[in-house]
Amino acid sequence: MSSVKQNPGLYKIVVTHYVFAAFCFLILSVMMLFSVNAFTGHYFHPQILAITHMAALGWGTMVILGASYQLIPVVLETELYSEKLAWISLGFFLPGLLALVYSFWVFVPGVHMQCGAVLLMLAVILFTVNVYLTGKRKKQQTIQEDFIFSACLCLCFTVALGTALVFNFTIPIFPQDHLHFLKLHAHLGLVGWFLLMLIGVSSKLVPMFLVSSYQKTRLLTASYYLIVIALLLFLVDSYFFGLTFRTYVIFAVGAAGIACYFMFILKCLRSRLRKHIDLPMLSSFLSFILLKIAIMIVPFIIYFHLKNNPATVRFSVIYGEFMLLGWITSLILGQTFKTLPFIVWVKRYEHLTGKFKTPMPADLYANNLLKAQTISFIIFCLAFMPGCYFMTIPLIYIGVAALVVTAILYITNVFIVLFHKTITYGKL
């Protein structure tokens, strides 16, 4: 017999990640509330750096790490190599995150910031080793595996470059401008880590959740190679020459890769057997729209950069916001209520199924709270992003307030799922 076994150890590690991520999301929204003015300036600002790292590491990466321990065995069709490694990784990740974010917030680039960066690097290396050894157990290679392994490698390189940048504040390591490397660090993280990982996992889960009959992987293979080639070209070209006219071509290659992924999703959607699309999946589709908007901003960043126009900074800020707070956040807000109720349901009801009428996984979360959360998140997007572009403080305030509400609703719903008490509706 073969199927993924849910054991108590795996449950604890996954749930711990979700809980910490939910708290980080709340802290992130409160940090934003205290930094509204910073969003009208340059992105190289202590509070923006702290917020970006809280969003990328505490929120986005934390959820992905937790979900990975549950989903990578599903995607790679084998069991997780080691739970112990996962706990040690979390043990390094949390203090590392706190030290790094606090040091950015108060901007003291000393030993605390450096220790934080080193701890984070150790954490992601352990995660990568765990994923690699999990995948090594399996003979058949799939395109999902390529996406996931490449994403893990990019995460390691992102954190390694980030650590070097942290040390560069006090010990000159890089001959060039700090901002030059910040671009590479950001894209390794956004495209290399988040994009590759989310495509890899979602390309298995979206057809599963939609019950889609589309099984071909040609579009995914094309997507993988185009994105990886574009990322490598961008890193090499912009390291040596900065942004040039060639960057447009590199962008076009990467955009073609993402277009292939969107076509794959569209084909899954069209061939789905399950016609009803629930709210968590709708939130995931909203995230794809936000990703498309983020991609459409890139040519403007290149154009204004080449013209030496300061508008490039504004577009860069908006681009980062659409990627981290738009695309990634929207995807997590939806997929949490697709994955977490299942994880909890299996623990609470597996022994009762077939004997008693039980609630279904989707009954474990409060649907009204999820609706309210989706509405407040849409308000955030509609107010915050234009507010930052037009530098309108009241709009930014409205947006951030909506994000705080979103975070409160999200964390409440997460705890509703986690503290769900087992109930039955009589014998079958």
Interface residues with other proteins (CB under 8 A) are 1-6, 70-71, 73-74, 77-78, 208-209, 211, 213, 273-276, 342, 345-346, 349-355, 360-361, 427-428
Q: Which two tokens stand for residue 109?
A: 């680039």
Distance of closest approach, residue 79 Cβ to other proteins, in angstroms: 9
CB 105 within 8 A of CB 50: yes
Distance of closest approach, residue 355 Cβ to other proteins, in angstroms: 4
Nearer to other proteins, 136 or 307 (CB): 136
Distance of closest approach, residue 76 Cβ to other proteins, in angstroms: 8
Identity at 319, one-letter amino acid code: Y
Burial class (CB in 10 A: 0-12, 13-18, 19+), 241: exposed
Distance of closest approach, residue 401 Cβ to other proteins, in angstroms: 35
Q: Which two tokens stand for residue 315?
A: 């577009």
CB 325 within 8 A of CB 55: yes
Structure letter (DSSP) for residue 171: S
Nearer to other proteins, 423 or 428 (CB): 428
Distance of closest approach, residue 107 Cβ to other proteins, in angstroms: 44
Nearer to other proteins, 71 or 101 (CB): 71
Distance of closest approach, residue 21 Cβ to other proteins, in angstroms: 20
Identity at 258, one-letter amino acid code: I
Read off φ and ψ for residue 5, nearest 5 degrees: -95, 135
Nearer to other proteins, 18 or 105 (CB): 18
Q: Which of 64, 51, 84, 85 is nearest to 20 (CA)?
A: 64
- The two most distant CA atoms of the chain are separated, in Å, by 72
Distance of closest approach, residue 350 Cβ to other proteins, in angstroms: 4
Nearer to other proteins, 308 or 427 (CB): 427
CB 321 within 8 A of CB 330: no
Dist. CA 287–CA 227, nearest whole Å: 19
Q: Which two tokens stand for residue 362?
A: 């989707």
Distance of closest approach, residue 354 Cβ to other proteins, in angstroms: 3
Nearer to other proteins, 6 or 40 (CB): 6
Dist. CA 40–CA 393, nearest whole Å: 8
CB 24 within 8 A of CB 50: no
- The end-to-end CA distance of the chain, in Å, is 26
Distance of closest approach, residue 200 Cβ to other proteins, in angstroms: 15
Dihedral over Cα of 256, 258, 261, 263: its sign = negative
Nearer to other proteins, 213 or 309 (CB): 213
Identity at 57, one-letter amino acid code: L
Nearer to other proteins, 46 or 359 (CB): 359
CB 177 within 8 A of CB 239: no
Distance of closest approach, residue 345 Cβ to other proteins, in angstroms: 6
Dist. CA 26–CA 245, nearest whole Å: 41
Distance of closest approach, residue 64 Cβ to other proteins, in angstroms: 17
3-state secondary structure 27-87: HHHHHHHCCHHHHHCCCCCHHHHHHHHHHHHHHHHHHHHHHHHHHHHHHHCCCCCCHHHHH
Nearer to other proteins, 242 or 359 (CB): 359
Nearer to other proteins, 73 or 162 (CB): 73
Dist. CA 24–CA 66, nearest whole Å: 14
Nearer to other proteins, 146 or 321 (CB): 146
